Chain A
Amino acid sequence: MRIPVDPPGFLAVKASKLPVYAHIDWGDCMFLQLFTGGLLLGCIYGLVAMGLSLIYGVMGIVNFAHGAFVMLAMYGSFWLYKFLGLDPVISSPLIALFMFGFGVAIYHLIIGKVLKGPFLARLLVTFGLGIFFVNLAQFLWSPDYKMVQKSITHGILMVGPIFVELPKLAASVGSLVVAGLIYWFVRKTKTGLAIQAISIDTQAAALMGINIQRLNAFAFGLGCASAGAAGAFLASFYYIFPDVGTMFGLVALVAVALGGFGSTEGALIGAIIIGIIETVGGFIVGSEYKYALIFVAYLLIVIIRPRGLLGWGAD
Chain B
Amino acid sequence: MHSKQVKRLRGYVLITLVLALVLGVSGGIMAQETIKIGAVYPLTGAVATTGADCRSGVELAVDIINGVYDLDFPFAKAAGIPNLGGAKIEVIFGDTRGDPTQGMAETERLITEENVVTVVGGYQSGVVKTATMASERLQVPYVLSDATSPALTERGFKWFFRVIPHDGIQAKNALELVKDIETKEDTVLPNLAILWENTEWGANVALEIKTWAEECGFKLVADVPYTYRATDVTSEVLKLKAAKPDVIIHAAYVSDAILFTQTMKAMDIRPKVMIGMAGHLDPNYLNTVGKDGEYFFVRAVYGLDLATRKPMVEKINELYKAKYGHDMSPNAARSFTAPFVVADAINRAASTKPEDIRQALAETNIPGSDLISPYEGVKFDPVTQDNVLGRSLYLQVQDGQFRVVWPFELAAVPYVYPFPEWDR
- Which A residues form the contact surface with B (CB < 8 A)? 30, 33-34, 37-38, 41, 117-118, 120-121, 135, 138, 142-147, 149, 156, 163, 165, 237, 239, 241-243, 246-248, 251, 275, 278-283, 286-288, 290-291
Contact assessment for A144 and B284 in the assembled complex, using a CB-CB cutoff below 8 Å: yes
Stretch at the interface among B128-136, B229-237, B377-385, B390-398: B229-237
Q: Is B17 an interface position by the 8 A CB rule? A: no
Q: Per a CB cutoff under 8 Å, which of B48, B254, B262 touches A138?
A: B48
Q: Per a CB cutoff under 8 Å, which of B46, B225, B233, B268 touches A163?
A: B268
| Residues A287 and B224 in contact in the complex (CB < 8 Å), given A145-B255, A242-B48 | yes
Contact assessment for A279 and B5 in the assembled complex, using a CB-CB cutoff below 8 Å: no
Contact assessment for A121 and B49 in the assembled complex, using a CB-CB cutoff below 8 Å: no
Majority-rule SS of A interface residues: helix
| Listed A/B pairs (26) with beta-carbon separation below 8 Å | A33-B238, A34-B235, A34-B238, A37-B235, A118-B5, A121-B9, A143-B48, A143-B49, A145-B255, A147-B288, A147-B289, A239-B288, A241-B255, A242-B48, A243-B44, A243-B45, A243-B46, A278-B232, A279-B232, A282-B236, A287-B236, A288-B198, A288-B225, A288-B226, A288-B227, A290-B235
Q: Which residues of A contact B287 (CB under 8 A)?
A: 144-145, 147
B382, chain A: closest CB distance, angstroms = 38
Taking A143-B48, A243-B44, A279-B235 as known contacts, 11 extra A-B pairs with beta carbons closer than 8 A to each other, sorted by chain A number, are A33-B238, A118-B9, A120-B9, A121-B9, A138-B48, A145-B284, A147-B258, A165-B266, A239-B258, A278-B235, A283-B235
A280, chain B: closest CB distance, angstroms = 7
Complex Cα distance A242/B43, Å? 12
- Which B residues form the contact surface with A (CB < 8 A)? 2, 5-6, 9, 44-46, 48-49, 51-52, 198, 224-227, 229-236, 238-239, 241-242, 254-255, 258-259, 262, 266-268, 284-285, 287-290
Contact assessment for B2 and A118 in the assembled complex, using a CB-CB cutoff below 8 Å: yes
Q: Per a CB cutoff under 8 Å, which of B242, B254, B290 touches A30?
A: B242
Contact assessment for B235 and A143 in the assembled complex, using a CB-CB cutoff below 8 Å: no
Q: Which residues of A contact B255 (CB under 8 A)?
A: 145, 239, 241
Complex Cα distance A118/B2, Å? 7
B241, chain A: closest CB distance, angstroms = 8
Contact assessment for A282 and B235 in the assembled complex, using a CB-CB cutoff below 8 Å: yes
| Closest A residue to B6 using CB positions | A118
